[in-house]
Structure 1
Amino acid sequence: MKPRALVLFGYGINCELETAHTLALVGAEPEIVHLSELIYGEKSLRDYHLLCFPGGFLDGDHLGAAQAAAHRLRHARIRTSGERLMDHILEFIQAGKLIIGICNGFQLLVKLGLLPGFDGHYGERLVSLTYNDSGRFEDRWVWLKVNQESPCVFTRGLKKLYFPVRHGEGKFMVQNEEVLNKLVARQQIVLQYIHPRTGKPTEEYPYNPNGSVMAIAGICDATGRIFGLMPHPEAFNHTTNHPRWTREEVSEDELGLVIFRNAVEYIQETLLS
């Protein structure tokens, strides 16, 4: 049995096709599901092992990136049962399954309070993603350091990545110093933007494309099973996606596929074995 992945789309999501394609390349069985299908009970989260919130512009970023979508998900009830969709998402997490939010999906996870998920508590909004310091949409490739001590399932065995970003609201911010200190102490900072020459986290533009505090590009929850990141691993699913593929040899181990392959292997080890 292949790991089943639900790739959400609708209301402005626009990266569902490449996300599903990337999942299929690493051995998953992806299904693109419109949010309304979950609300009307035509599809159920209980039938999947991995939930993907892809990139895009949910509701046109009205009220702030993913804010309106978070409100919808938090309050929607499944028409066939009357149960809250948010309760199904929490049940999905408690069942040991995986969630990844990419770019707009990351914005959705933090607005829902599913990240950072300290001590298994979900729903409280402690961090956010806001307008880039540059004041404009950023579309560029960035170097990323992977935290080797992070519990994140998706980045196991990875050290350094080179992925594209494309966002207008990617600046990671925290509610207060206490939250930031917890993220650091509990190793929940998974990815940081780094300077390509020094290899160290940086707040220097354009290597840090948005001005994120501590150069944070991605975080996970306490379990390591919920992961949000601003860069787009699904946009680097083939060597020819690399901006210098005609001049440099690109290894398959460098592709964004590695993020999804780790997820598939984890599901096979823990949920399907």
Structure 2
Amino acid sequence: MSATTATTALFQVQGLVKHFGALRATDDVSLAVNAGEIHALIGPNGAGKSTLVNLISGLHAPDAGRITLDGVDLTPLPMHARVRAGLSRCFQITSIFPKVTVLDNLLLAVQSSGGRHPGGSGRGLPRVLHTLLADRARDDALHAQAVSLAERVGLGGRLERLAGTLPHGAQRQLDVALALAAEPKLLLLDEPMAGMGPEDSERMTALIQTLKQDMAILLIEHDMKAVFALADRISVLVYGKVLTSGSVDEIRGNPQVQAVYLGTEDVA
């Protein structure tokens, strides 16, 4: 990482190490994401992407290294404090409340402390939360914010739909809206195209592209068409190490990346 990047980056991971027994799952990883940038993280299965994402979001504690966001050291902070500091994450598995409406999901998100992403359990909401949601719906400001979020992700016409009845692609859009409720400085997107067909992937790609004007994005994704369409920079993770970082053209033409990840055929 250059001195210029280290001093100007909005988000930085420096020398991150994580062991699981004898396995060094994250091996001295450093990367930076600048304001207004989409930085993609790619790598083959087993490269350590999930471990790195969990370290960044606070699910795991690193054995060494440092994570900072806009000058704040996130390393010792629990997950909820990282959200308050400006880090929001969309998980690989959609995390919504399926048994209440799109609007109620968003009302719960915008009223939460610091706008925290509530995360769904798949088992519905306790009765007390239904009561709270009914009260919150009367708050015009919260309602307007929730509607604005729905419109931003393309769900403005589905506010009264039960979240669990939405198609998979629309559920992923709702998941993004819940993360946006926190007004993040950095949005961590963990395989947002997972399980999507071409049409839904194109819709999600277009949505992500619109978000970079308001936040930096760290994108973990296997869909290389989407990665190449979205990324300003790409880092390639192999065996827990960053093999290389660069522009789309640099990564696409890198023979090492071709050998370990992209294969020998050109990726359009």
Q: Answer whether TM exceeds 0.5 for this pair.
A: no
How does the TM-score come out when normalised to structure 1? 0.34
Q: Is the radius of gyration larger for structure 1 or structure 2?
A: 2
Q: RCO greater where, 1 or 2, for CA within 8 Å and sep 6 or more?
A: 2
How does the TM-score come out when normalised to structure 2? 0.35
Greater helix content: 2
